[in-house]
Structure 1
Amino acid sequence: MHSIISILNNIIIVVPALLIVAFVTIAERKTMASMQRRLGPNIVGYYGLLQAFADALKLLLKEYIAPTQANVILFFLGPIITLIFSLLGYAVIPYGLGLFISDFSLGILYMLAVSSLATYGILLAGWSANSKYAFLGSLRSTAQLISYELILSSVILLVILFTGSLNLTVIIESQKIVFFILPLLPIFIVFFIGAIAETNRAPFDLAEAESELVSGFMTEHSAGIFVFFFLAEYASIVLICILTCVLFLGGYLSILPINLVFYLFKLVFMLDYGLISTDFISIGLFSLNLGLKTSLFIFIFIWVRASFPRIRFDQLMSVCWIVLLPIIVGYIIFNSTITMGINIHPFALNL
Structure 2
Amino acid sequence: MGSMQRRLGPNKVGYLGTLQAFADALKLIVKETIIPAHANSVLFFLGPIITLIFALLGWAVIPFGPGLAISDYNLGLLYSIAISSLGVYGLLIAGWAANSKYAFVGSLRSAAQLVSYELVLSSAMLIVLFITGFKATAVVFLFIWVRASFPRIRYDQLLQVCWMVLLPLVFAIIILVPCIIYSFDLLPFNLI
TM superposition score normalised by structure 2:
0.81
Are residues 103 and 127 of structure 1, via their aligned partners in 2, closer, same or farther at CA, if it must alter by over 3 Å? same
Between the two proteins, the alignment pairs up a number of residues equal to 186
Larger Rg: 1
Mapped contact 2:48–2:94 kept (Cα < 8 A): yes
Mapped contact 1:92–1:100 kept (Cα < 8 A): yes
Mapped contact 1:31–1:302 kept (Cα < 8 A): no
User: Which string of whole-angstrom CA distances, capped at 9 and with x for unpartnered residues, describes residues 306-348 of structure 1?
Assistant: 222222333223223332233333333333333333337xxxx
Identity %: 58
Are residues 31 and 140 of structure 1, via their aligned partners in 2, closer, same or farther at CA, if it must alter by over 3 Å? same
Q: Which residue, out of 28, 31, 50, partners 2:3? A: 31
RMSD: 2.7
1:247 to partner: Cα distance? 1.5
Q: Which residue, out of 134, 137, 143, partners 1:295? A: 137
Unaligned runs of 5+ in 1: 1-26, 149-196, 200-236, 252-289, 345-351
Are residues 99 and 40 of structure 1, via their aligned partners in 2, closer, same or farther at CA, if it must alter by over 3 Å? closer
Q: Which residue, out of 139, 143, 156, partners 1:314? A: 156
Are residues 242 and 136 of structure 1, via their aligned partners in 2, closer, same or farther at CA, if it must alter by over 3 Å? same
Paired amino acid for 1:40: P
> Which fold has the larger relative contact order, with Cα–Cα distance below 8 Å and residues 6 or more apart in sequence?
1
3-state DSSP class of the match of 1:124? helix
Name the counterpart of 1:248: 130
3-state DSSP class of the match of 1:60? helix
Mapped contact 2:4–2:149 kept (Cα < 8 A): no
1:242 to partner: Cα distance? 2.1
Unaligned runs of 5+ in 2: 187-192
Q: Which residue, out of 96, 112, 137, partners 1:127? A: 96
1:50 to partner: Cα distance? 4.3
Name the counterpart of 1:163: none
Paired amino acid for 2:81: L
Mapped contact 1:91–1:100 kept (Cα < 8 A): yes
3-state DSSP class of the match of 1:343? helix
Q: Which residue, out of 110, 128, 132, partners 1:141? A: 110
